[in-house]
Every structure is written in C-alpha cells, then in structure tokens.
Structure 1
Amino acid sequence: MSTQDSDDYDKLSPAEREIRDKADRQREADEQAALPYSWKQSLEDVDIVVPVPKGTRARDLVVVIAKKKLSIGLKGKDPIMAGDLCQDVKIEESTWTLEDQSSVELHIEKVNKMQWWENVLTHHPKIDTKKIQPENSKLSDLDGETRGMVEKMMFDNQQKQLGKPTSDEIKKQEALRKFQLAHPELDFSNAKIS
C-alpha cells in the first residue's frame, strides 16, 4: 500500500475499510491462486507445494535452493518456478521432497526469523504482511517474555510499514514530554532527538 493509499485508508469509515479489506483479500487470493505453486509461512520458515505431472520421479526434477535464488522444474523443460527469493534462506536447513509422484514440497528456513515474507519470488504478486494473523496456538505456546517480544516486534514492524513511530520511539517521545513538563524552564526548541 503506498503512502497515498494509506492516507486514503485512514480517512475511510469502518464500513468502508471493511469493504476495501475484503476486496483486497479477494484480489490477493486470486493473485496467489494463479501462481504455479502454493505457499504458507511462519516467522521461522516457508513451506511451498509445487504440483508436477503425476508419475514424476525425483531423478526427473531439477531443484535448486540457493541463499537468494530458487528454481524448480523438470529436466529438459523450462522451470515451473524460478527467480530471486524475496529474502535470504538457510540453504543447509532447507529441504525438498517429492510427494505421491505429483508434487514437490519444499521446506525453507528463513535467515531473518523476525520478518514476514511478502512473496516467495520477487517478481510474483505480494501479500499484505500487515494483515497476517499468526496462529494463536503458536503465539500462546510461547512463554510470557518471548510472547511479549514477538508481539512488540509485530507491532513495530506494522508501525514501520505505516510510517508511524515504533514502541521504542513512542517511549522516548513520552519520556521527553514528561521531562519537558517537569522542567518548563528549559528551552527544547533546538533539541535533536534520535
């Protein structure tokens, strides 16, 4: 969503936002359904399923998983999917298997385990990562401190995408406001806050 779209969105009523969100979700679902694969993710990893012709054997496949590139296809044919990955992956912890001689299933470990992916390959349609709802069971399985850290990271990531201050920046601004109120005799007009 561009800054212009974001500004327009902020001006919408709740009912209008719901209509736009529904339309965006449908457009996104249609774009993802048109891809030659399906995928899902957690903060730690990405799982991809690529349909192949029934009866395909592992030796018929060409699968390349590199730190920043991915290619899957049949020998002697154009790849089913190929391109630059949107983020780096851990090659040594990423695997693929052929299931029922009809699909290639990839499990890719993310290098950055604190960021949602907008897409798998950079040239494919993006999803709106601000709308991702992590599975409650997984979030609730975390201990209190870890859960708080994950929720803070999710909040900060959403704030950054919206061009708004992160939780740490909000705390700094609040501390400065309190200090200014406690010390009205000081001039803060030329203060630089970082």
Structure 2
Amino acid sequence: MSVHFDERSGTVRCKTPWGEWYQTMEEVFIEVQVPLGTSAKEIKCSLGSKDIALSVKGEDILKGKLYDSTVSDEGTWTLEDKKQVCIVLRKSNREAGNCWPSLLKGQYNADPLLKDEMQKKLTLERFQREHPGFDFSGADISGNYAGGGPDFSNLGK
C-alpha cells in the first residue's frame, strides 16, 4: 500500500471564517463547518469550472469566481457527520507551480508566509512524484520559493 503524499507530509491549511481550504498539485480541498445536525437536503452546492456556490439552509456560505479553473464534472461535495461539508475540486492546470494564492478571486487569500509554505509543499510533492523511491519525509526546502526556487542541497544527508 502506498502512502499518499498528504499523509506523509501534511497539508498547509488556509483558515477562513467558515472553515479552511488547502491544496495539492492536482486538487483543492474545502472544508466548511455547518450547524450540527445539518442534512444533505439543506445543502445546495454548485461546482462550475470557474465558480462555486454553497448555501446551507438558504444562507450563502461561499460564492464567487474560483482563483483558477477546475474540471467541473470531477468536483464533488459530501456532508460528513452532519457538521462539515467537504468539497474536492480537480485543478485544470496540475503543474506544481500552479499554487493558488487564494480560493476565490480576491477572497480567502493565503497570507504571504502561508502562500510560501503552500508553494513549498507543492514543489516537494512534485519532487516526490519524480523520485518515488526517495524518502522526502524529513525534507525541508530552504529559502523563499518566490525568490528563485528551492534549495534541495540538504536532501539525502
């Protein structure tokens, strides 16, 4: 059984008033806290390739243009334990450099340090995929990613 990248390295989560969101090279995950006891029929969720709309009990929770495009027919949502809506969007552009700095255009931005951490995780994920036999669990990417790229000189030592 292979260990999924997220389980091995953790995720960098961006907190929001309604919950949090995080990403991998391929997907964006959105976790929305809803009132305990919420039923699926009380949830309306529309997942387009460029926009999203989520309302619970008639109240808009999340609505707007996504930061980048997704594969609309591969987006899913589930209600977990009647208290959390989990949305998974598949990125159209799945390059490691495609780090979303915000969930929606102009909303739910990751602060600069968090965005840098997100970019480092995606870069590390790419290297993990390119070198599947190498153990990256203790890897640390030094430096500011935006400043010209990561330094992997500390790996394998």
TM-score range, shorter chain: 0.5 to 0.7
Larger relative contact order (C-alpha < 8 A, sep ≥ 6)? 2
**Counterpart of 1:90 in structure 2: which amino acid?**
V
- Partners of 1:83 and 1:123 within 8 A in 2: no
SS at match of 1:141: helix
SS at match of 1:120: strand
Shift of 1:139: 4.3
Q: Give 1:10-29 correspondences, 5 Å limit.
A: none
Q: Percent identity?
A: 24
Partner residue in 2 for 1:46: 28
Shift of 1:34: 4.2
Partner residue in 1 for 2:103: 120
Partner residue in 2 for 1:18: none
- Partners of 2:16 and 2:108 within 8 A in 1: no
Compare the two structures and name the one with the higher strand fraction: 2
Cα distance in 1 for partners of 2:59, 2:130 equals: 47
**Counterpart of 2:100 in structure 1: which amino acid?**
W
> How big is the alpha-carbon RMSD for the aligned residues of Structure 1 and Structure 2?
2.9
Aligned pair count reads: 120
1:102-135 Cα offsets, whole Å, 9 max, x none, are 0100111000112010111113142233443217
Normalising by structure 2, report the TM-score. Answer: 0.65
Q: Where does the alignment leave 5 or more consecutive residues of structure 2 unmatched?
A: 1-12, 132-144, 150-157
**Counterpart of 1:87 in structure 2: which amino acid?**
D
Rg comparison, structure with higher value: 1
Q: Give 1:51-130 correspondences, 5 Å limit.
A: 51-75=33-57, 77-114=58-95, 115-127=98-110, 128=112, 129-130=115-116
Normalising by structure 1, report the TM-score. Answer: 0.53
Counterpart check, 1:142 vs 2:129 = yes
Q: Deviation above 6 Å: which 4+ runs of structure 1?
A: none
SS at match of 2:41: helix
Compare the two structures and name the one with the higher helix fraction: 1
Shift in alpha-carbon separation, 1:36–1:117, aligned structure 2, 3 A: same
Shift in alpha-carbon separation, 1:107–1:143, aligned structure 2, 3 A: same
Shift of 1:62: 0.5
Cα distance in 2 for partners of 1:58, 1:125 equals: 25
**Counterpart of 2:67 in structure 1: which amino acid?**
C
Shift in alpha-carbon separation, 1:34–1:41, aligned structure 2, 3 A: closer
SS at match of 2:29: strand
- Partners of 2:25 and 2:125 within 8 A in 1: no
SS at match of 2:107: coil
